[in-house]
Amino acid sequence: MMEIETLKLAKALIAQPSVTPDDHGCQPLLMSRLSALGFNIETMRFGETDNFYARWGNQGPLICFAGHTDVVPAGDESRWNSPPFTPTEREGKLFGRGAADMKSSVAAFVTACERLLLQQPDLPLRLAMLITSDEEGDGHDGTKRVVETLKQRGELIDYCIVGEPTAVDTLGDMIKNGRRGSLSGTLRVHGRQGHVAYPHMAANPVHLAAAALAELTAMHWDNGNTYFPPTGFQISNINAGTGATNVIPGELTVQFNFRFSTESSAENLRQRVHTILDKHNLHYDLDWTLSGQPFLTTAGRLTDVAQKAIKSVCGVDAELSTTGGTSDGRFIKDIARELIELGPVNATIHQIDECVDITALAQLSAIYENMLQQLAWPDASLHK
């Protein structure tokens, strides 16, 4: 029954072409299931983004499941072995855009709550679900705005479980208990355009910036710590010139990104970059974008509960990790005492023929249910 219900709901969600930020009917489907359980639903539409925040119960710690219904575009659909928005079972896997990222997790959230609340209507917990349709896009009107609203009202979350795909090889082998910060820069180094045969009459910004860029790429920013690898600096794009081989460019544009640990701050990284650029006497403009601060949930109650649930359901010892990109957890951590990310294998996310193991659907739902039982009762085995 567990496998059938979670699979059916995952298929229903995948069938909706909810390319960010268009929810395309996913959230009404979820809200109807949660309303039937007695959740109070609050819709929050900001701009073109649909969000909802659902609440159940009035006693005990608040546990929030958080996720998104939007997906990235399917790309060239002719390259898919089955249509991306036609959920298809094949070779023990469920194929479709969003199967791994993250409609299966959302389906598992709902079915875990359904089973537990039908069996334990007096559950000594408060439950919440925060769902957005703007995680894969710019994120301005999604979880960020919902969290701002909740923060203004003084609403806090004790434990938050984000359903991002975190597993590497098999369900449960990795839990994200934090994420690195992301700081991007667009650097424009100004020179003077001219003819390559008369370099003394021009100033080549590529040549001028070369030493500074070399220093930036070689810089040791920090050592990281127990939970985070050292901060990394990567240049993602360099562009200059008119396209003609006999023209010295007048401007160089460099795009770069820091993925930084809690050992560095965004402000400190900015200052160090400017110090290096100024040392090389460059004439430049630099625009910064901070996509997210690093956040961390140290090993504690929530990570312990998650690891025990995974061991019980999958027989796997889960590793705690902060690797990978950013997620909406960076916003929710502002109002959540403890937060982790836990979801299916991420090997096919954003790819052609995205898929998830069908057996993992029921297992993931069981993990979420087991976690709720542990958080509700010290000896969850008494209530299975």
Predicted confidence (pLDDT) per residue in 3-19, tens digit: 699 999 999 999 999 99
**Known binding residues:** 68, 101, 136, 164, 350
User: Phi then psi for 232, rounded to 5 degrees?
Assistant: -115, 145
With 70 as the cut, is the pLDDT of residue 379 above it? Answer: no
Which of the residues are catalytic? Answer: 70, 135
**Known binding residues for Zn(2+):** 68, 101, 136, 164, 350
Q: Tell me if the pTM is above 0.85.
A: yes
Residues 6+ apart with CB under 8 A from 226: none
With 80 as the cut, is the pLDDT of residue 120 above it? Answer: yes
What pLDDT does 2 receive?
A: 55
The share of the chain scoring above pLDDT 90, in percent, equals 93
C-alpha span between 278 and 287 (Å, rounded): 15
CA nearest neighbour of 352 among 21, 70, 76? 76
Q: How confident is the model at residue 324 (pLDDT cuts 50, 70, 90)?
A: confident
C-alpha span between 261 and 337 (Å, rounded): 19
Beta strands at 62-68 and 157-162: parallel, antiparallel or unpaired: parallel
Helix 104-119 to helix 358-376 angle, to the nearest 10 degrees? 50
Q: Residues 176-233: pLDDT tens digits? A: 999 999 999 999 999 999 999 999 999 999 999 999 999 999 999 999 998 999 999 9
C-alpha span between 147 and 153 (Å, rounded): 10
Q: How many residues does the chain have?
A: 384
Q: Residues 236-269: pLDDT tens digits? A: 999 999 999 999 999 999 999 999 999 999 999 9
Q: Set out the domains of the chain in order of their start, with CATH numbers.
A: 2-179+294-376 (3.40.630.10), 181-292 (3.30.70.360)
What pLDDT does 163 receive?
A: 98
What pLDDT does 383 receive?
A: 45
Average pLDDT of span 319-327: 89
With 60 as the cut, is the pLDDT of residue 104 above it? Answer: yes
What pLDDT does 326 receive?
A: 84
Residue 296 and residue 177 in contact, taking contact as beta carbons nearer than 8 Å: yes
Rama region for 147: left / alpha / beta (φ>0; ψ in -120 to 50; rest): alpha
